[in-house]
Amino acid sequence: MPEARPKTEPSLRVLIVDQNVMRASILEEGLREAGYLNVTVLREMHNLMRRIVDIDPEVIVIDLENPNRDVLEQMFQVSRVVRRPIAMFVDRSDTDMIVAAVDAGVGSYVVDGLKKERVKAVLDMAITRFHAFNKLREELDNARQALDERKIVERAKGILMKQRGMSEEAAYALLRKAAMNENRRLSEVAQSVVTASSLFK
Amino acid sequence: MSDVTTVVGFIPLLDCAPLAVAAEKGFAAEEGLDLRLVRETSWANIRDRVVVGHFDAAHMLGPMAIASTLGVGHLKVPMAAPLSLGLGGNAITVSLRVWDLMVSEGAALSASPRALGEALRNVVRARERANKQPFTFAMVYPFSAHNYELRYWLAASGIDPDRDVRLLVIPPPLLVDAMREGQIDGFCVGEPWNSVAVSVGVGCIVLPTTAVWPLSPEKVLGCRLEWTQRHPDRLQALVRSLFKAALWCQQPQNHLELARLLSEPRFVGAPAEILLRGLSNRLCLQRGGEAEHLPEFYVPAAQAATFPWVSHALWFYSQMVRWGQVAFDPEHVAQVRATYRPDLYRLALADTTDIPSADTKIDALFDGVHFDPDDLPAYLKLLSHS
Q: CA-to-CA distance for B15 and B172, rounded, in angstroms?
A: 13
What pLDDT is recorded for position B30? Answer: 96
Residues of chain B contacting A49 with CB distance shorter than 8 Å: 168
- Residue B201 zone, left/alpha/beta (φ > 0; ψ -120 to 50; rest): left
Kindly report the nearest CA distance between residue B39 and chain A, in angstroms.
11
Grouping H, G, I as helix, E, B as strand and the rest as coil, residue B302 is coil
Residue in B41, B51, B75 closest to A65 by CB: B41
Q: Which pLDDT band, with edges at 50, 70 and 90, does B149 fall under?
A: very high
CA terminus-to-terminus distance, chain B: 53
Is the CB of A73 less than 8 angstroms away from the CB of B169? yes
Mutate to test the interface with A, among B7, B45, B167, B184 (most CBs of A within 10 A): B45
Q: Considering only CB atoms, which chain B residues are within 8 Å of A66?
A: 41-42
Whether the per-residue pLDDT at B145 is higher than 60: the answer is yes
Q: How does pLDDT run across A101-143, given as a tens digit for each residue?
A: 888 888 888 877 777 777 788 888 888 888 888 888 888 888 8
Instruction: Quote the mean pLDDT of chain B.
Output: 95
Chain A neighbors of B53, CB-CB under 8 A? 99
The one-letter amino acid at A21: V
pLDDT confidence of B352, banded at 50, 70, 90?
A: confident
Q: What is the pLDDT of residues B276-305, one digit of tens each?
A: 999 999 999 999 889 999 999 999 999 999
Tens digit of each residue's pLDDT (9 = 90 or more) over B4-50: 999 999 999 999 999 999 999 999 999 999 999 999 999 999 999 99
Test A73 with B168 for CB contact under 8 angstroms: no
Q: Is the ipTM of this complex over 0.95?
A: no
Which pTM does this prediction carry?
0.87
pLDDT at B281 (0 to 100): 96
Between B7 and A92, residue with greater pLDDT: B7
Q: Is the pLDDT of residue A5 over 60?
A: no
Task: Inspect the interface and report whether the beta carbons of A66 and B42 lie closer than 8 Å.
Answer: yes
**CA torsion, ordered B214, B346, B257, B284, to nearest 10 deg:** -10
Question: Packing angle between helix A116-164 and helix A168-182, nearest 10 degrees?
Answer: 120
pLDDT in tens, B130-139: 999 999 999 9
Is the CB of A70 inside 8 Å of chain B's CB atoms? Answer: yes
Q: With bands split at pLDDT 50, 70 and 90, how would you rate the model's confidence at B64? A: very high
